[in-house]
A and B are shown apart, each in its own frame.
Chain A
Amino acid sequence: ELTLKSSDTHPDGYPTVEAVKHMGKLLKERTNDRICVEVFHSAQLGQEKDTIEQTKFGVIDLNRVSMGPFNNLVEETKVVSLPYVFKGVDHMHRVMDGPIGDDILKAFEPHGYVGLAFYDGGSRSFYNKVKPIKSIEDLKGMKVRVMQSDIFVDMMTALGANATPMPYGEVYSAIQTGVIDGAENNWPSFESSGHYEVAGYYTLDEHLIVPEVLVMSKASWDKLSAEDQAAVRQAAKDSVSVMREMWVAREKASEEKVRAAGVEVITEIDKAPFMAAMDSVYEKHVTSDKLKDLVARIRSTD
């Protein structure tokens, strides 16, 4: 009866797209065909900034988005976008699956969204065409493309690199021709964008491990009965494990392809100086008591 429209900027077959489809399948079974989900993948309904607004206005019901566009809207999401805040992917899972994750999901509600679940966004690392980055000194003066976000720009500046915002579509030729020296991303994007063809050095510093989030429009949510709300929330939670399995497989496949292409992957790297350089970024962006408390809680999670 009721079809929930869901948006995703990733293409069909991508782990997040498949996860939301899986959620729809579960929901359909559990509500006896009353509620199903229709996924609009490949940014058909717009870029994330647009679909976030559309979700708020109730034009679409579900939305899988990255945290970045929410940073200046829902303060709590900033904390997971901080560089080196997590010790690794497993640590991120433990934090987001626990009470801290629940608190962040709840923080969406006053802004017109219902936070349902966190998906993986992988871990972002630096790649470039000039030289292997083995220490923080190697990054000095390098022109690195980052997303248009204050935290990311400040992080690059703190590392001594030259943060260069640029539309994603221009990055390939920009690296190829030398407008910029490199960029940063996770394994699957490094591979699918073809950037590995032009950037031969990938340094696994994992500076950002930012989960992605599935939110529902508060307007659509309020139309559901309490029972259906519970069913939606549960189906979303249940889709997370499917997503994570697919993500690991995808990451592995991308890694194999990139390594086979002869990209030099730098794994042995002392992250301590990188983390130490982040003090100024934390000082500037972790300003409220709420954020300070969240950072402290993440740091004290095993």
Chain B
Amino acid sequence: MEVWVLFGTFVFLLLIGTPVAFCLGVASFATVLYLGLPPVVVFQQLNSGVSVFALMAIPFFIFAGELMVRGDIARRLVALAGAMVGHMRGGLGQVNITASVLFGGISGSAAADATAIGGLMIPQMKEKGYSVEYGVNVTVVSSIIALMLPPSHNMIIYSISAGGRLSIADLFTAGIIPGLLLAVSLMITAWFVAKKAGYPTETFPGWAMLGAIFFNAIPGILLIVIIFGGVRSGIFTASESSCIAAVYALLVTTLAYRTMNWTSFVEATKAAVRTTAMVLLVIGCAASFGWLLAFLRIPAELVELMKAVSDNPIIILLMINLVLLMLGTFMDMSPLIVITTPIFLPVATAFGVDPVHFGVILVLNLGIGLCTPPVGTVLFVGCAVGRISVWDAIRTIWPFYGAAVFTLLLVTYIPSLSLWLPSLFH
């Protein structure tokens, strides 16, 4: 019965349009009242859920992303991507994906990526005769790349949810090959879709122009080097690197590019606070919800259930992936990492899956969930930027979903895609 109170309240509130954070928080509150426990525990978990040092990476990376978008770093990266791959079939679609690789290497947020790249690319694509749906589809699905390439605050959230004993530096490194693989499979898909629709290509600007555009983008690209190099050479820790990213973005935009004035700085800070507060309130409320799940022994029972179904790791991983994809369609990423890691990680490790590998699977899987309705933050952002309805976007998005799911399967069943690169550092 307690379980019904918990999930019933949650689903009911979700359906009537209560903000997701409060659906989680109020469902926990109601269940605790029903159980006759002191309700203080709900608010204690809400508080301790957000009082975690490593979560600081979220505000910092979001702050850095805002500074990059408002301070012209993102636009220069898009220009570079344009010069590099614009002449390929599917022109601006390829540019969009490549820009997500470049931007993804400095931002950990898919929503920031969709806002930044989508905001710059979709109007251009519309102008050049691409359908808006194609632009939105490419923008939305390729923004998952930002989650896979370091730095990614979702990897940090995963490490915390796994009990804080996984090396964040290893998780960062493990996402690189899967992230690039996703980029490649999306580019191939974009090529075929563009070919069928007969989209134009851009002219190659010539090596001299490419060099000049590259020179312009160097300060932005250097951030990747600084973050990854700084973490790997021991100047700062992975979670501190997020703060350095924000400081560096501020220095580049004020001193090198001189594109940041006081008003844009204040706007960037406020925007970062808004997004962070929204994300972290969900994480805090998910902590209360997760506490109740543990208290009601739901994870333990689920593990037993899955063990009863099969003892084949391939089947188990497939089942976990399906459940995560399903959950991902109606919930947001960070709370799902917080809720599902304690449930599924023990199952996966019981079947011999490496926790770092599982983290990559989890982030990629839930990243796909960000692009799927009904609850897909990145899909919403993409549609808002392109000014089309969610329905218009998803009618033609299927090839891109296919490419992402195909990558997910490869990453799930070939552990070395994730584990080979970190093993080089041991």
Is any CB of A less than 8 Å from a CB of B in the complex? yes
Say yes or no: B159 contacts A50, CB within 8 Å. no
Tell me, yes or no, whether B291 is within 8 Å of chain A by CB.
yes
A129 to chain B, nearest CB (A): 10
Give which listed residue, B48, B235, B237, B291, contacts A170 with CB less than 8 A: B237
Tell me, yes or no, whether A86 is within 8 Å of chain B by CB.
no
Complex interface: chain B residues within 8 A of A167 (CB): 53-54, 164, 239
Chain B 224-249 interface residues, beta-carbon cutoff 8 Å to A: 231-239
Chain B 140-178 interface residues, beta-carbon cutoff 8 Å to A: 159-160, 163-170
Q: Give Cα distance in the complex from A168 to B160, angstroms.
A: 10
Tell me, yes or no, whether A280 is within 8 Å of chain B by CB.
no
Give which listed residue, A170, A174, A177, contacts B233 with CB less than 8 A: A177
Q: Give Cα distance in the complex from A168 to B54, angstroms.
A: 11
Indicate whether A169 sits within 8 Å of B294 (C-beta atoms), given known contacts A54-B41, A178-B234: no
Say yes or no: A59 contacts B37, CB within 8 Å. yes
Name the segment of A40-48, A69-77, A257-265 touching the other chain.
A40-48
Q: Give Cα distance in the complex from A170 to B239, angstroms.
A: 8
Say yes or no: B236 contacts A57, CB within 8 Å. no
Indicate whether A173 sits within 8 Å of B294 (C-beta atoms), given known contacts A50-B45, A54-B44, A57-B41: no
Tell me, yes or no, whether B426 is within 8 Å of chain A by CB.
yes
Say yes or no: A170 contacts B168, CB within 8 Å. yes
Q: Return the CB mask of A29-69 against B: 1 if under 8 Å, else 0.
A: 00000000000101111110110011001110000000000
Best-buried of A5, A53, A58, A176 by chain B (most CB within 10 Å): A176
Tell me, yes or no, whether A172 is within 8 Å of chain B by CB.
yes
Give which listed residue, A43, A50, A166, contacts B163 with CB less than 8 A: A43
Q: Chain B: how many interface residues by the 8 Å CB criterion?
A: 35
Q: Give Cα distance in the complex from A50 to B45, angstroms.
A: 8
Complex interface: chain B residues within 8 A of A45 (CB): 291, 294-295
Tell me, yes or no, whether B17 is within 8 Å of chain A by CB.
no
Tell me, yes or no, whether B342 is within 8 Å of chain A by CB.
yes
Q: Which residue of B lies closest to A219 (CB)?
A: B38
Tell me, yes or no, whether A249 is within 8 Å of chain B by CB.
no
Complex interface: chain B residues within 8 A of A178 (CB): 233-234
Q: Give Cα distance in the complex from A40 to B342, angstroms.
A: 13
Complex interface: chain A residues within 8 A of B164 (CB): 167-169
Q: Which residue of B lies closest to A166 (CB)?
A: B237
Q: Chain A: how many interface residues by the 8 Å CB criterion?
A: 29
Q: Give Cα distance in the complex from A179 to B238, angstroms.
A: 10
Say yes or no: A169 contacts B231, CB within 8 Å. no
Give which listed residue, A5, A44, A54, A172, contacts B167 with CB less than 8 A: A172
Tell me, yes or no, whether A197 is within 8 Å of chain B by CB.
yes
Q: Give Cα distance in the complex from A178 to B160, angstroms.
A: 22
Tell me, yes or no, whether B40 is within 8 Å of chain A by CB.
yes
Best-buried of B164, B232, B299, B342 by chain A (most CB within 10 Å): B164
Complex interface: chain B residues within 8 A of A168 (CB): 164-165
Complex interface: chain B residues within 8 A of A177 (CB): 169, 231-234
B5 to chain A, nearest CB (A): 17
Say yes or no: B37 contacts A40, CB within 8 Å. no
Complex interface: chain A residues within 8 A of B233 (CB): 177-178
Say yes or no: A170 contacts B54, CB within 8 Å. yes
Complex interface: chain A residues within 8 A of B425 (CB): 176
Say yes or no: B48 contacts A169, CB within 8 Å. no
Q: Which residue of A lies closest to B54 (CB)?
A: A167
Q: Give Cα distance in the complex from A172 to B169, angstroms.
A: 9
Q: Give Cα distance in the complex from A81 to B44, angstroms.
A: 27
Q: Give Cα distance in the complex from A47 to B294, angstroms.
A: 13
Chain A 4-49 interface residues, beta-carbon cutoff 8 Å to B: 5, 40, 42-47, 49
Q: Return the CB mask of A147-191 against B: 1 if under 8 Å, else 0.
A: 000000000000000000011111011101111000000000000
Say yes or no: A40 contacts B294, CB within 8 Å. yes
Identify 9 residue pairs between A and B in the complex whose beta-carbon atoms are under 8 Å apart, listed by A's number.
A57-B38, A168-B165, A170-B238, A172-B165, A173-B167, A173-B169, A173-B170, A173-B237, A177-B233
Taking Cβ atoms with an 8 Å cutoff, the residues of B that contact A are 37-38, 40-41, 44-45, 48, 53-54, 159-160, 163-170, 231-239, 291, 294-295, 299, 342, 425-426
10 cross-chain pairs, A with B, having the tightest CB-CB distances, nearest first? A178-B234, A169-B164, A177-B234, A173-B169, A44-B294, A57-B38, A173-B167, A179-B234, A170-B237, A59-B41
